[in-house]
Amino acid sequence: MTTKPKTRKAPAKIVVIDPIFAAIDAYKARTKEMCCLYDKLEEAEFEAAKTYGRRLWPLIGWRNYSEIGGREIDDRRKEFLSQPGADPKQVEKEFRNAKAREAAAEQAGVEWDQRAGIAPLREQYERARLAEHRGGMRMARTKPTTMAGAAAMITYTRRDIMKGEVDWQMVALKTVAVALAQMNVQAA
């Protein structure tokens, strides 16, 4: 009687699921949703402009800046105050005026949205925009746990950086992504 030799099963490979992949996918989904809503909002604005005129742009001019708003106004205030011979009272007066004009432009936009019937769509878009921003920050803070995850994050980041940035950054990120991906294959 011959007995079959016992065959040993290879140990099961442990699959490590890197959280960065889910974070990238979630961010892509939020970005897609925001972009779709932006397209709908832009189309609705275009159609409403036929009846209500164009929506007022919430950016204002101040000194040699033709279109600024939000933090840019605060930054220009600091810039103007730091200039040699600056008159702090004059700069503060102009600053308050600029902030008031910005607030009026923003309010005019809100009123236009209401008249045009697109306020709910704008609110939906703004919620999606904020969710996309939070998702991006969540993704950026997610630590890859594998070389493949690190490579994916670098590759995604590299693709998302605006064109025209410093060239060596693009090359360096791509090189690291490829190297990490190759290391992961070799380690497997």
Q: Which residue has the higher pLDDT, 146 or 65?
A: 65
Residue range 148-182, pLDDT digits in tens: 888 888 888 877 776 545 555 566 677 777 777 77
Backbone CA torsion sign across 90, 96, 99, 104: negative
Residue range 74-112, pLDDT digits in tens: 999 999 999 999 999 999 999 999 999 999 999 999 999
* pTM greater than 0.75: no
Q: String of b and e for 34-68 (b: at least 16 CB within 10 Å)?
A: beebeeebeebbeebeeeeeebeebbbebeeeeeb
In this prediction, what percent of the chain has a pLDDT beyond 70?
Answer: 84
Average pLDDT of 55-79? 91
